[in-house]
Amino acid sequence: MSKTRNLSDLLDANGDVKSTALDNVPASDDASALTTGTLDSARLGTITNFTSTGIDDNATSTAITIDSSENVFVKPTGIGTNIGIDAVSTGYYLRDGGQFRVARDNSQSIIANRLNGDGLIIDLRKDGTEVGSIGTRSGDLTIFSTATNHTGFRFAGSTVFPTGNTGIESNNTMDFGTNAVRFRNAYLAGGIYLGGSTSALDDYEEGTWTPTAISNITINTIENANYIKVGNLVTATTRLRVTFATSSPVIGGLPFSVYERQTSIANDILVSGSYVNQILSNNVYIYNASTSGTNKLLYVSATYITS
């Protein structure tokens, strides 16, 4: 049995269901039967002039919103159009024209999970052409540019490998910067192996030091005093204005301790007839210095081995 019902019998002027909506409906069509049965399409009628701001979540809150520009928002908080831009709004934003934004509070926003085998996880494209990829190789993360002759990295344990444009390791093909476009500083705790060498250059240092008068010399002016240390080899230079008391003055203050007594190790004295006799205990011993005159220009270059 069926009974034709008008929409005005079901809904009041405010669009709410009337309390008498099911009056005089046969038992087979009453509310208790609606859980397993169906209402005739003629009885449902057609609702016209209906608008909605979104799709609700079991009538408790808005779950999905589609605005007039056909942008889609899924469970937005804050201002939907600010999802992915500000520090407040969360949710999913499918923007008209192909943009996707997502923001989540205090947890990861995107999970991309490749199953069963290594390969690409994310494929990046420009105008339909692949330009880069993020993937895995032997379970390691790879990030690389896919353009011809481009490079990338494989992050494996405690080692970072250079790769080619397919994510496969590539030997002796990648440079860090160029002569015109350089990185600034490199901070290393270990050494540098140059040109395939099996021995590391583990120390290079430049700096200044302060020459001191140990004996038989007065230092009037220190014009400069610099050093270069490569490994355990030190070259210390200084330009001084001095007065000698005897022909055997001693200058101290070398920047690094001297490994045992050293003599004639690439040293030079710009005082006629003088030379470095020995380097010992952080001191430079000068021989045959002229005692005539005062405020002489003295240039010392001493290269020695430190411990």
What confidence category does residue 298 fall into, taking pLDDT thresholds of 50, 70 and 90? confident
Range of the domain at 218: 206-305
**pLDDT digits over 136-175, tens only?**
999 999 999 999 999 999 999 999 999 999 999 999 999 9
Query: Bigger pLDDT: 66 or 299?
Result: 299
Instruction: Identify any residues that bridge with 285 across adjacent strands, giving them in sequence order.
Output: 250, 278
Q: 287 and 221, same structural domain?
A: yes
Q: 231 and 299, same structural domain?
A: yes
Q: What percent of the chain has pLDDT over 70?
A: 77
Q: 290 and 212, same structural domain?
A: yes
Domain final residue, candidates 152, 184, 216: 184
The answer to the question of residue 264 being in a domain is: yes
Q: Check residue 191 and give its pLDDT.
A: 85
How many folded domains does the chain comprise? Answer: 4
CA-CA distance, 248 to 278, in Å (whole number)? 11
Mean pLDDT of 11-16: 70
What confidence category does residue 226 fall into, taking pLDDT thresholds of 50, 70 and 90? very high
Q: 96 and 124, same structural domain?
A: no
Mean pLDDT of 122-136: 94
Q: 301 and 210, same structural domain?
A: yes
Q: 286 and 225, same structural domain?
A: yes
Domain final residue, candidates 150, 184, 218: 184
Calculate the alpha carbon distances from 63 to 50, 81, 110, 129, 172 in Å: 19, 15, 20, 36, 54
At residue 210, does pLDDT exceed 50? yes
Of 251, 236, 250, 215, nearest in space to 306 by CA: 236
The answer to the question of residue 233 being in a domain is: yes
The answer to the question of residue 201 being in a domain is: no
Query: Bigger pLDDT: 126 or 291?
Result: 126
Mean pLDDT of 225-234: 94
Count the neighbouring beta carbons within 10 Å of the beta carbon of residue 202: 13
Q: 288 and 218, same structural domain?
A: yes
Mean residue pLDDT across the chain? 82
Mean pLDDT of 19-29: 60
The answer to the question of residue 69 being in a domain is: yes
Q: Check residue 33 and give its pLDDT.
A: 46
Mean pLDDT of 122-129: 93
**pLDDT digits over 71-90, tens only?**
888 877 767 778 888 888 88
Query: Bigger pLDDT: 57 or 131?
Result: 131
Q: 275 and 238, same structural domain?
A: yes
Query: Considering the entire predicted model, what is its pTM?
Result: 0.58
At residue 45, does pLDDT exceed 80? no
Q: Check residue 34 and give its pLDDT.
A: 46
Q: Are 242 and 219 in contact (CB under 8 A)?
A: yes
The answer to the question of residue 193 being in a domain is: no
Of 297, 306, 300, nearest in space to 226 by CA: 300
Domain final residue, candidates 133, 152, 184: 184
Q: 296 and 238, same structural domain?
A: yes
- Per-state percent for the chain, helix, strand, coil, to nearest 5: 5, 40, 55
The answer to the question of residue 197 being in a domain is: no
Q: Check residue 113 and give its pLDDT.
A: 94
Cite the beta strand spans of 166-232 per DSSP E: 204-208, 212-215, 217-230
What confidence category does residue 238 fall into, taking pLDDT thresholds of 50, 70 and 90? very high
The answer to the question of residue 172 being in a domain is: yes
